[in-house]
Structure 1
């Protein structure tokens, strides 16, 4: 569901209008059916536009959705209910239409540094150059560093400290959070929609939720969700120069060393530990309590409690056996050559 603190609705549009705009046809349902907002297929309601590319992958119950941009292959597997617009590139069509229904709230041109509608607790401390957008809420004891920008609607809990030159938008921040200088929270993720003229960026309409007692190291980036939320669990500590992609779910008490990167829609369980420069493929699940060694490239799910290492990552004992075998093989070859 679109959060009105961060976005405003600019529709409605009818099914026939949308079909004309994307060069497609209404293949099933009512051409005058209107939609006012956008949503993920998993939670779309009767006033929402969503898209489906692959029934097998996206195949949750979409019977409540008002209108679906859908590939012909996915359309064949859908039961009765929503109005359908068939297109070979539903993601690209969604990218083209969504910004006609929803727009991002931004800082107002000419506004004072602190917008009159912002709610700032008397005990909060703002350093020179801080900018606070409309409807933002700053809790008791909060400290905001010099030249940091807090976007419209952002909520910041008690005793949170935000360093200089940070940028936060589309974000809900808990109590006792520490955000170091240069951190960027809530910008659009790296979502691309392939099209005939080349890939286009997909607009993002989700949020970032950072729970209590989280720390985010300097110059790290946390992308907001595409249509859902990016979530950082309570007590998690993220080092400098890390990246969390859109729609990721990071559990509680996770420890993530520098240069780690978590690709979009991945899930990291409670108590997971990442060494430095760990990389995760998109849509990967890391089970609770797992440990990932430095430099590992994780291309598949990791069971809870296991320790993985290597490129591509695998259980650490198997990876160490492979290294030992390679070392012995190289030594034998060197001996024969000598």
Structure 2
């Protein structure tokens, strides 16, 4: 790929300096003065770029690799061509993430829509009772409601809506088109385009003439350093709060129902739906397109495979998958048995047709 105007290359850092920043070992010190300006995939990495190889499955990409350095773990080192300097580390993916953050810091969070804009843009609407600390940026067409409070270093993107009484901490990024109402956000929170935070939860009671709406008077609490993907929705609580714990990362197009409590440093992938009043522990990983039943508990460190249907509690540290979700080894055994039966039926049908 040619020069990318959206995320231009870094001015350059020496390979020796990069190795030190990553805590990696540069195997060929004579290459230490090479300048690294950007990251790239292995197959098309060129001079001035660094890439990483996570497994031997990517070996074929090395044939077209002309990177100035490649990050890998010791087990992968023997397959790297001798002409490519190696940065050796036990955690190549982590090192590559650190390299990307150093070389392309603007890609870490939603950027400004209006070039050079600082402070409150004249085309934004900020209620006179809102309180903005120094260094807050409000882009065109953004709306800041009554009594809202926003901390220094935070940017509110174009067309975003921050509701009345919302509190947003310092160094946050609210991308264009997002809405935040009935919510309290900590420091370092990133909310991507089109996310909806704090709207009604889904609650109704049967009445003589149809469904009666149950009022939702809780809040959404988002702790420090949480990232929420584009078009994700997080409903406010019915009477208690919906809580997203510190450091948790939520992908695009996730639905989180009212009164859900998510622990710290969880990872929730695109398409997941979490029904109301579910409790999710710390360090839980939930694969894409999984459905989580309401009023259940998923224990600390549990892992849920993609496209699973979780209908009951999951113990801490467990690995579950399937519909209904069950211990992963049981799910894989069931899949293997089903495939074997399918193959047997196909063979019998073939024998009858001969």
Q: CA RMSD in A?
A: 0.9
Q: How far apart are the structure 2 equivalents of 1:161 and 1:334? A: 56
Does the residue aligned with 2:207 lie in a helix, a strand or coil? coil
Q: How far apart are the structure 1 equivalents of 2:198 and 2:265? A: 21
Does the residue aligned with 1:327 lie in a helix, a strand or coil? helix
Matched residue, 2:225: 213
Q: How far apart are the structure 2 equivalents of 1:315 and 1:210? A: 31
Does the residue aligned with 1:322 lie in a helix, a strand or coil? helix
What's the offset of the Cα at 1:130?
A: 0.8
Q: How far apart are the structure 1 equivalents of 2:133 and 2:141? A: 18
Among candidates 208, 215, 234, match of residue 246 of structure 2 = 234
What's the offset of the Cα at 1:256?
A: 0.5
Matched residue, 2:133: 121
1:91-113 CA distance string (max 9 Å, x none): xxxxxxxxxxxxxxxxxxxxx92
Matched residue, 2:216: 204
Establish whether residue 297 from structure 1 lines up as the match of residue 309 from structure 2. yes
What's the offset of the Cα at 1:198?
A: 1.1
Matched residue, 2:199: 187
Establish whether residue 311 from structure 1 lines up as the match of residue 323 from structure 2. yes
Matched residue, 1:9: none
Q: Which structure is larger by alpha-carbon Rg, 1 or 2?
A: 2
Pairs within 5 Å for 1:1-338: 113-338=125-350
Q: How far apart are the structure 2 equivalents of 1:138 and 1:332? A: 64
Q: How far apart are the structure 1 equivalents of 2:156 and 2:247? A: 20
TM-score using structure 1 length: 0.66
State the number of aligned residues: 227
4+ residue runs over 2 A deviation:
none
What's the offset of the Cα at 1:200?
A: 2.1
What's the offset of the Cα at 1:335?
A: 1.5
Does the residue aligned with 2:334 lie in a helix, a strand or coil? helix
What's the offset of the Cα at 1:140?
A: 0.5
Q: How far apart are the structure 2 equivalents of 1:192 and 1:298? A: 23
What's the offset of the Cα at 1:122?
A: 2.1
Q: How far apart are the structure 1 equivalents of 2:141 and 2:134? A: 18
Q: How far apart are the structure 2 equivalents of 1:232 and 1:183? A: 14
TM-score using structure 2 length: 0.63
What's the offset of the Cα at 1:327?
A: 1.0
Q: How far apart are the structure 1 equivalents of 2:176 and 2:343? A: 53
Matched residue, 1:109: none
What's the offset of the Cα at 1:336?
A: 1.6
Q: How far apart are the structure 2 equivalents of 1:296 and 1:214? A: 24
Q: How far apart are the structure 2 equivalents of 1:334 and 1:289? A: 41
Q: How far apart are the structure 1 equivalents of 2:345 and 2:163? A: 61
Q: How far apart are the structure 2 equivalents of 1:210 and 1:296? A: 26
